[in-house]
Amino acid sequence: MNSLCEPDKKDLDMRLKKIEGQVRGIQRMIDEDKYCVDILTQINAVRGALKKVGLKILDRHTHGCVQRAIKNEEGDAIINELMDVLTKFTN
Amino acid sequence: MNSLCEPDKKDLDMRLKKIEGQVRGIQRMIDEDKYCVDILTQINAVRGALKKVGLKILDRHTHGCVQRAIKNEEGDAIINELMDVLTKFTN
Amino acid sequence: MNSLCEPDKKDLDMRLKKIEGQVRGIQRMIDEDKYCVDILTQINAVRGALKKVGLKILDRHTHGCVQRAIKNEEGDAIINELMDVLTKFTN
Amino acid sequence: MNSLCEPDKKDLDMRLKKIEGQVRGIQRMIDEDKYCVDILTQINAVRGALKKVGLKILDRHTHGCVQRAIKNEEGDAIINELMDVLTKFTN
């Protein structure tokens, strides 16, 4: 179980569908020999969009799962887990 | 025209197809109420894969288009353009 | 008041002193006309070191201040603040 | 020998002196038990400033050393070197 409510899920689903379309668009740009810098600009856009999705889920997770675990005296384990995933997120 | 030869294009196409599948996987994970941290781990994987695709195109562009432009005395404009896209890539 | 205990503070102080020395080293490299790529390698080292310091403080903050606030029913405000600083940290 | 002219060196020197002072400021903040989030905000500022210094040197290097090497038919080696340092810069 995660901490995403229905409106969150709808919003994320819409964002990910758009990202999926953009990834397909990048394949097409490569296929059609489009200019490298234009492909890179599109890659930057997708990376930014994915980061936003990640930050949104991180936010929901911290407000939800993490907060609940802390109130149940299980904070340290879930915070360690959060820090691990966050460290990778900053790479 | 870009600087991607056929083997490059095949390799990038394969990587982007995999990324597209991973993005769909993330949508499914959200839909099936999978644990936030597992979704975030998957998002980190896609971000890393996209970065590799970007670095690969950047490499081809610099070895190809940029090098050619410099030999044709048109280096400064293409380097400025490269720096702009690169600055966004580091965000 | 922050959430850093004495051993944390000693460790961070040692790291920051080293970073300060590295920054001075970069100034010297520029002054002595050292090769750009060697200067950039050194800049990468300092950026990595600073990131580690940031992640360490983030970890202490979450285990300490954030956990305390949540137990005192003041979780949402401190988590919003955490997310803001974290978003900037991922830039 | 690098590709930095005197005005570049002056500008970078000024920026690095400021960064050095900011790093000392962070040590002081830790020492004086300042709030974690304020320390993190300051760390973000220094990381941003260091990135700008890095991008500036990268720009000078590409316009200078890289361009010269390419004109001397030594482009591939210097571009590989550039890509290596750039890959680390994006971490």
Q: Helix B6-31 vs helix A6-31: angle between axes, to the nearest 10 degrees?
A: 170
The class (CATH top level) of A6-89 is mainly alpha
Going by pLDDT thresholds of 50, 70 and 90, the confidence category of residue D1 is low
Mean pLDDT of A20-24: 98
Chain segment C36-61, per-residue pLDDT in tens = 999 999 999 999 999 999 999 999 99
Buried b (16+ CB within 10 A) or exposed e, C4-19: beeebbeebeebbeeb
Within 20-79 of C, beta carbons closer than 8 Å to D belong to 20, 23-24, 26-27, 30-31, 33-37, 39-41, 43-44, 46-48, 50-51, 53-54, 57-58, 60-61, 64-65
Going by pLDDT thresholds of 50, 70 and 90, the confidence category of residue A3 is confident
Mean pLDDT of C56-69: 95
What is the distance in angstroms between the Cα of B78 and the nearest Cα belonging to chain D?
10
For residue B45, what pLDDT is reported? 97
List chain A residues with CB under 8 Å of B57: 36, 39-40, 43
What is the rounded CA–CA span in Å between residue C70 and residue B2?
53
Measured in residues, chain D has a length of 91
Mean pLDDT of C17-29: 98
Residue B3: pLDDT above 90? Answer: no
Every domain of chain B and the residues it spans: 6-89
Going by pLDDT thresholds of 50, 70 and 90, the confidence category of residue C91 is confident
Answer whether D43's CB lies under 8 Å from C53's CB.
yes
Query: Would you call C79 and A89 a contact, using CB atoms and an 8 Å cutoff?
Result: no
Answer whether B19's CB lies under 8 Å from B50's CB.
yes
Residue of chain B with shortest Cα separation from D73: B71
> Architecture of domain D7-89 in CATH?
Up-down Bundle (1.20)
Residue A1: pLDDT above 70? Answer: no
